[in-house]
Amino acid sequence: MVESGKTDVDIKDHDGYTSLAWAVTRGRLAVVRYLVHTGRVNVEPRDGHGRTPLAVAAMNNTLEVVEYLANEVKGDVETRDSLGRNTLCRETQLAKTAEEIIDVVTAMLSAGCDPTVRDQEGRSALSLIQRIQEVERKERLRASWHKILRLYEDSIGLPAYL
């Protein structure tokens, strides 16, 4: 049905989600690949908050989908949502622990996402990590945050204490 063009796969629901966005949200890589492969789907639609499917995949920690959209589909890693946040800034802001985002952060940095981009309130992924790191006292988590800071440092070639 999708290949025939008789179905509009880019129609949006009340939240601005398309069929691709829903497949991304659910982490259904096979469905995402199928939709993209048909050539009939917009790979950069924005939802009601200005997020692209790649941003939604990162937000939901669906690593395989993030890697596919960033590396194979070449989704724009620098798009900003309605608050001016790029994917790394949003991902870092939503994080509760470093472990839950380290793989997605690594994938986004590898795809070229800039950790120094600031949102409308002047926050960057780096500044958010630093603030979270100051609050955390558990050594196990602290080691993981240091890993993320090192990833940021390696990606920009500068110390992450700007």
What does each of the 162 residues of the chain score in pLDDT, given as a tens digit? 456 556 677 898 888 889 999 999 999 999 999 999 998 899 999 999 999 999 999 888 889 999 999 999 998 888 899 999 888 888 777 776 667 778 888 888 888 888 888 999 998 888 877 777 666 656 656 677 778 888 888 887 776 555
Whether the Cβ atoms of residue 62 and residue 24 lie closer than 8 Å to each other: yes
Q: DSSP label at 86?
A: -
Fold of 1-76: 1.25.40
Q: In this structure, how many other beta carbons lie within 10 angstroms of the beta carbon of residue 137? A: 7
Q: DSSP label at 160?
A: S
CA dihedral angle for residue 65, residue 67, residue 72, residue 77, rounded to 10 degrees: 100
Distances (CA, A) of 11 to 16, 30, 35, 42, 149: 9, 20, 13, 10, 39
Nearest to 94 by CA among 68, 122, 55: 55
CA dihedral angle for residue 16, residue 117, residue 130, residue 158, rounded to 10 degrees: 150
Q: Could you tell me the two tokens for 124?
A: 């960057």
Domain range list for the chain: 1-76, 83-162
Helix (H) or strand (E) holding 19: helix 19-25
CA gap 5, 121 in Å, rounded:
43
